Amino acid sequence: MTTPRALGRPTIRDVADRAGVSISAASYALNGRPGVSATTRERILAAAEALGWLPDSSARRLASSRSETIGLVLPTSTADSFGVAPWFMEFISGIESVLAGRGFGLLLQVVPDRDAELAVYRTWTRSRRVDGVILVDIAADDPRVAAAPAYGFPVVVAGPPDQAAGLPCVWTDDEAAVTQAVRYLAALGHRRLARIAGPPELAHIAARQRAFDRAADDADLEVRTWTTGFAMEAVRSAVREIVTTRPRPTALLFDDDLGAVLALGVAHEMGVAVPADLSLLAWDDSLLCRSTYPQLSAMSHDVRGYGAHVARRLFATLEGAEPAVHLDTTPRITPRGTTGPPGSGARGGQGTPSLGGG
């Protein structure tokens, strides 16, 4: 005899037939609604289990007006860097860890610019394609934030509250972290610092720059910033310029991990000992920092945990929570082999000669 399971996925009609009840009675029982006796409900649930019946997720979404999907839009430049820059992959992994527990999926869209991103949100609003959206890489006066009230879904900002315009946001105190980093380098004896900075239009990068300048001024340090926007060749060029500057900065602070990895390579190439002649302090502390020799000192940040935190706040918003500001953990210093007192002789550069001037 051919069973419903052999013909394909069992339906609610199959469950009703096996239990000897009407389709409406089976629907009441399977959806936890009143309308059937306890004995009948148990018989229906037992039939469903025996058949391997599962609810139709598309029908459930239609009934609840939910897509069970969260949207995330990234620029092409970010997507192109996935293979070498781990921040967004860790962030997305954190988001996915929360979505999986709720039975939700992530819709990731890659766009060339902000105008294209705004167009995606308009399309999602019309199609009800997503239940909520996470905004990243927030800029000053960000048009995506300004347009959010017109979206047909909740929005959570992964960025500083002063640019969230009242939207729920999750942020890290980058200014406090940079201040901590500068004080750490100053305590090691560094008086000349350089910063290799990401795109200055991003709010968190601008916050770090303000803190860098202020902390350096408080400690009476000489500082200079090279803005590279995370472009790999621009980082290499900036580091080559820094190590040939006289007097040369003795410590470099980065806005990411990859930049510090590239700087370590340039230092070896140019015969600069790390950390004896040049200390390097990375940001985020991904696996990259523990994959170099010497291992990179870093401002450690649980990026996966940050992504999970953002996702939890988005679900809270979907469930009716009022917009609020949520502070995530502040990056902390993890010293390793690329920071030390200037001219300490603690060479991590495999005995390469110094250029002097440290």
Alpha helices in 253-354 (DSSP H): 258-269, 303-318
pLDDT of residue 122: 93
pLDDT of amino acid 286:
94
Cα distances from 175 to residues 23, 160, 210, 227, 229, in angstroms, run 61, 11, 7, 18, 19
pLDDT at residue 3, as a whole number: 42
pTM: 0.78
| pLDDT value of residue 193 | 98
Residue pair 203/160 in contact by the 8 Å Cβ criterion: yes
Q: Write the CB contacts of 101 (distance below 8 Å, at least 6 apart in sequence).
A: none
**Assigned architecture for domain 4-55:** Orthogonal Bundle (1.10)
Residues spanned by CATH 3.40.50.2300 within the chain?
Answer: 69-171+304-329, 174-296
C-alpha distance from residue 300 to each of 186, 258, 328, 356 (Å): 19, 14, 13, 30
pLDDT score of 350: 36
Q: What is the rounded distance in angstroms from the CA atom of residue 29 to the CA atom of residue 199?
A: 56
- Give me the pLDDT at residue 344, please: 65
Q: What pLDDT shows up at residue 4?
A: 42
Ranges of residues in the chain whose predicted pLDDT is under 50: 1-7, 61-63, 345-358
Residues of the chain with CATH 1.10.260.40: 4-55
Segment 247-279, tens digit of pLDDT: 999 999 999 999 999 999 999 999 999 999 999
Q: Quick: pLDDT tens for 282-291.
A: 999 999 999 9
E-state strands within the chain: 69-75, 105-111, 132-135, 155-158, 169-171, 192-197, 222-227, 251-254, 279-284, 297-300, 325-327, 332-334
Bridge partners, residue 283, by sequence: 299
The per-residue pLDDT for 357 is 35
- pLDDT, residue 1, reads 38
**Cα 140 to chain center, whole Å?**
19
CATH class of the domain comprising 174-296: alpha beta
Summarised one tens digit per residue, pLDDT across range 33-75 is 677 788 888 898 888 888 887 666 555 544 456 789 999 999 9
Matching CATH number, 69-171+304-329, of 3.40.50.2300, 3.10.20.30, 3.40.50.1370, 3.30.70.870: 3.40.50.2300
